[in-house]
Structure 1
Amino acid sequence: MSETVSDADANRAVSLALRVGELLLANGEGTENVTNAMRAIARTYGVRRIEADVNLSALTLSNVPDDGRPPVTAERRVRRRQPDFARLVALHDLVGEIIAQKLPLTVARERLHELSSRARIYPRWVAATAPPLVAASAAVLTGGDPVVALAAFIATLLGDRAGTWLARRGVAEFFQTAVAAAVGAATAVLMIWQQIPVQASAVVVGAVIALLPGRPLVACVQDGIAGEYVTATARLSEVVFIVAAVLSGIGIMLTFAVKAGVPITLDDAPTAPLSLAAPQLLGALMLGLTFAVALRVPPRHIPPAALGGLIIWSAYVCLRWLAWPAVLATAVAAAVIGLLGSMYANRVRVPPMLFVIPAIGPLLPGSVLFRGMLKLSLGDVLGGTHYLIEALSTALAIGAGAILGIDVLRALSGRDIARRIRPAARRTRGY
């Protein structure tokens, strides 16, 4: 590309880079990759003096020419973030073609318009049933039988529909999530109250796992490790509020149940058996598969994502059998899936998060969160706080482990897609 471009072309290049960055961020990409992709696109089209700033809801690009022309700053807002990994794959392909200088600016703008207006890869009914299927799979992993899995499916479906109804009326997402969690907890409370001879609390665990913010959690750790501390803090706040909403919904229902005399004890709080028996392997496999569908992973990539759920659970169980601490076993298992997911992603030329995010489902701390809220509801503040801290530690271990696995391959391989747009990492030594 020419070193000098007209003001009109420079503004078009900046507009294209901002729009690509907006779509990347909205569909689940990390801040570092979004920033570097925007800078690379602008430079490809001759806009050399470019600065980019990305936070959780806004993107800014500044073009400061060194030939005396006036600087230009443009901004776009990300008003709705809903991960769509199929669209994310298409965006990465488009960025790769642009950086390889295969697309003129006008053609790139047309391609981006077609991509942004493309219909969702799955019909709405599939997207609506994916979270309930996640809950049913988690209930099986936790030791629930088919009756519990069906109850978890129905409870999560009702909670999701209630949240959708509230969303259409402008109710904040915090309360949507709290209501969805409360519906799951209420279902378990009713089953315990009626003394149905099943592991009823697995319903709550399934509903909680379907609501936990797996992708924001990994993105939060990813941004923090990459040095994007402002965005990492914002993402952490998002994770905290989502988890707080889940805990609020569960806590309210458990408090009402205890006050009403429902015989709920800590024995009702299930823990996934450290087993490689068929139910646990099936639950882990189905968790990876259903999370992949919920994140709109392209159909051809769903089998590897489902297999990742099986692998991460097997690695975790084997490490626990070797008497490793739970948090360390979680981090290592997540690192294994991060490494394997990156290897496969490099082979098929797609972002590694396509496989890593669905695979972490079996390790999300749904059981621990439920135990913490149950202890608090029963008046054991110290015990409840202990479990909540354990859940936070597990969540951070998942994020750090997954990013470690991805970066290990990045350090050892020259074929990582992200290296085409990732400059040398900063080395500040904390100064």
Structure 2
Amino acid sequence: MRDLLRRGMDRVFGTRPATIDTIEPGSIVIAPRKPIDLRDEAAITEVLDLALRIGAVLLDAGTGAVDTRHQVEFVANIYGLEDVDVDVTFNTILICARRGSTLPPITASRTVYYRSLDFTRLAQMDRLVRKIRRLSITPATAHGIVDDITEAPHPYPRWVATLAWGLMALGVGIFLGGTWVVWLTAFATSVVIIEVNRRLNRIGTPPFFQQMAGGFLAVLPAALLNPVLESSGLGFRPTQIIAAGIIVLLSGLTLVGAVQDAITGAPITGTARFTEVVVMTGGIMIGVALSIRFVGLFDVHLPALTAVPPFGAADVPARVVGGAIAAFAFALASYAERRALPAAFVAGAIGSGVTAALMLTNLGPVFGYAAAATIVGLVGGIAARRSLTPPLVIAVAGITPLLPGQAIYRGMYGLMTGTGGTSAMVTAFIIGVGLAAGVTLGEFIARILRRPRLPNVFTAYRRTR
């Protein structure tokens, strides 16, 4: 149908085909295709390797398996390989190009050996795919651009990212209703956690033990300061400091990608990612438990968070500001582009505001978190196309302040002291899944709202004149 429209427009009007710059927003972009000789194995291998390298960066950044597969297929289709099979697993991408019944297929694969949070690299790869679609650049040129993207240093110095993690904990402290003592302590604690984990990673320590070390360190400052500041009248709540540290550690996990894969038809990849999330979260919990036992040897006992502190309408502004700061800081710590930082700030404010507003009702916290995540995913999916920022950046940053750090600590403390805690752990699990599922639903709704229409050849003709 697309080819008929293009040929019909050429015959009737004698104009060139409509491109991405000549079709109105919301209409189908006719992607240029370059012919390829199916007998040229070198040319086909070059295209397959390009598609795999782009897919590897997307998978590395936490993009869902289905979205990664679509992007890999799209790049291969652009260069004339329309009969391809793509399989994306937890850390491997496999692509097979079929060349008809008389020639053997060509297969290539690539493995992602590590996970990294570099949203600038993700955004640049997204723009490369757009450039391939719009300009039909050669595979060799695209390979050169991929080299520049993957070999470029982070856009910000490492110390900026470290301070951003601390700022994120400070924002979470505000979101949880803490005082300035809680904010500063959470800031310092998170900076120490990130720096220690970075050094552990440098010597090859497995991520599980890094998470365990982070959970252990999250408890120590609160335990040391609690006997001194408990009766000072400064509003010192160690549970808020610990919860802020836990949220910082949880924010680096691919919870959204795991649930998204399970929902969108990639159960094997979703199961593998979800297993990773569970194991890494288990490392945090073990670290917290060990730290609670450790400080107990010195007769230092932390207060139990048996219930969420009272929440009223007067607390909504602080929660909105705290959530916005935390989302902004997470995007900065994840090396997001400058254009994405204001969007992350707004997404955090929206998510925190919706959650705070719904907590004033009788709908329950789980519904409030899920509804907020859905709205964040919707806003991120729509705004992403306008700011050329991948939806994943805005969505993940927007739900980061909502991660169930307090519920995890409450459950872990209850289990360690024999006062219960199973209910809190189940609540934390449901909230985490609800956040990820809400983001996936919001992005799905955004895709429906911006679903392309068939191009109007008369409109395209007027814009080419």
TM-score by length of 2: 0.85
Amino acid at match of 1:245: G
1:389 maps to which of 405, 426, 432: 426
Alpha-carbon spacing, 1:168–1:348, altered in 2? closer, same or farther (3 Å): closer
Alpha-carbon spacing, 1:272–1:322, altered in 2? closer, same or farther (3 Å): closer
Question: What's the CA shift for 1:272?
Answer: 8.2
- Residue 263 in 1 paired to residue 301 in 2? yes
Aligned pairs for 1:33-182 (under 5 A) are 33-100=67-134, 102-182=136-216
Give, in whole Å, the separation in 2 of the partners of 1:277 and 1:399. Answer: 23
1:289 maps to which of 328, 339, 359: 328
Give the aligned partner of residue 364 of structure 1.
403
1:223-266: CA deviation from partner (whole Å, max 9, x where unpaired): 11110111100110111011101111111111233454323332
Give, in whole Å, the separation in 2 of the partners of 1:187 and 1:330. Answer: 29
1:296-337: CA deviation from partner (whole Å, max 9, x where unpaired): 221122112111111111111211212112111111111111
Give the aligned partner of residue 400 of structure 1.
437
Secondary structure in 2 aligned to 1:194? helix
Aligned pairs for 1:229-244 (under 5 A) are 229-244=267-282
Amino acid at match of 1:368: A
TM-score by length of 1: 0.91
Q: How many residues align?
A: 414
Note the residue ranges of structure 2 that are not aligned, 5 or more in a row: 1-33, 454-465
Note the residue ranges of structure 1 that are not aligned, 5 or more in a row: 417-431
Secondary structure in 1 aligned to 2:81? coil
Secondary structure in 1 aligned to 2:226? helix
Indicate if the aligned counterparts of 2:316 and 2:353 stay in contact, CA closer than 8 A: no
Q: Percent identity?
A: 29
Amino acid at match of 1:201: T
Question: What's the CA shift for 1:119?
Answer: 2.1
Alpha-carbon spacing, 1:200–1:215, altered in 2? closer, same or farther (3 Å): closer
Give the aligned partner of residue 14 of structure 1.
48
Question: What's the CA shift for 1:269?
Answer: 7.4
Amino acid at match of 2:260: Q
Alpha-carbon spacing, 1:362–1:122, altered in 2? closer, same or farther (3 Å): same
Give, in whole Å, the separation in 1 of the partners of 2:260 and 2:220. Answer: 35
Give the aligned partner of residue 37 of structure 2.
4
Question: What's the CA shift for 1:13?
Answer: 0.4
Higher RCO (CA-CA < 8 Å; seq separation 6+): 2
Aligned pairs for 1:147-226 (under 5 A) are 147-196=181-230, 197=232, 198-213=236-251, 216-226=254-264
Give, in whole Å, the separation in 1 of the partners of 2:350 and 2:142. Answer: 39
Q: Which stretch shows the higher mean deviation, 308-317 or 348-357?
A: 348-357
Give, in whole Å, the separation in 2 of the partners of 1:123 and 1:207. Answer: 22
Indicate if the aligned counterparts of 2:320 and 2:350 stay in contact, CA closer than 8 A: no
Indicate if the aligned counterparts of 2:316 and 2:357 stay in contact, CA closer than 8 A: no
Secondary structure in 1 aligned to 2:300? coil
Indicate if the aligned counterparts of 2:172 and 2:244 stay in contact, CA closer than 8 A: yes
Question: What's the CA shift for 1:289?
Answer: 0.8
Give, in whole Å, the separation in 1 of the partners of 2:362 and 2:252. Answer: 26
Indicate if the aligned counterparts of 1:41 and 1:95 stay in contact, CA closer than 8 A: yes
Q: Which stretch shows the higher mean deviation, 274-283 or 399-408?
A: 274-283
Give the aligned partner of residue 283 of structure 2.
245
1:23-47: CA deviation from partner (whole Å, max 9, x where unpaired): 1111232211111111111122122
Alpha-carbon spacing, 1:263–1:124, altered in 2? closer, same or farther (3 Å): closer
Question: What's the CA shift for 1:70?
Answer: 2.6
Question: What's the CA shift for 1:22?
Answer: 0.9
Indicate if the aligned counterparts of 1:143 and 1:199 stay in contact, CA closer than 8 A: no
Q: Which has the larger radius of gyration?
A: 2
Alpha-carbon spacing, 1:327–1:267, altered in 2? closer, same or farther (3 Å): closer
Alpha-carbon spacing, 1:11–1:35, altered in 2? closer, same or farther (3 Å): same
* Aligned CA-pair RMSD: 2.0
Question: What's the CA shift for 1:149?
Answer: 1.4
Secondary structure in 2 aligned to 1:92? helix
Aligned pairs for 1:375-386 (under 5 A) are 375-380=414-419, 383-386=420-423
Indicate if the aligned counterparts of 1:201 and 1:270 stay in contact, CA closer than 8 A: no
Question: What's the CA shift for 1:58?
Answer: 1.1
Give the aligned partner of residue 460 of structure 2.
none
Q: Which stretch shows the higher mean deviation, 152-161 or 391-400?
A: 152-161
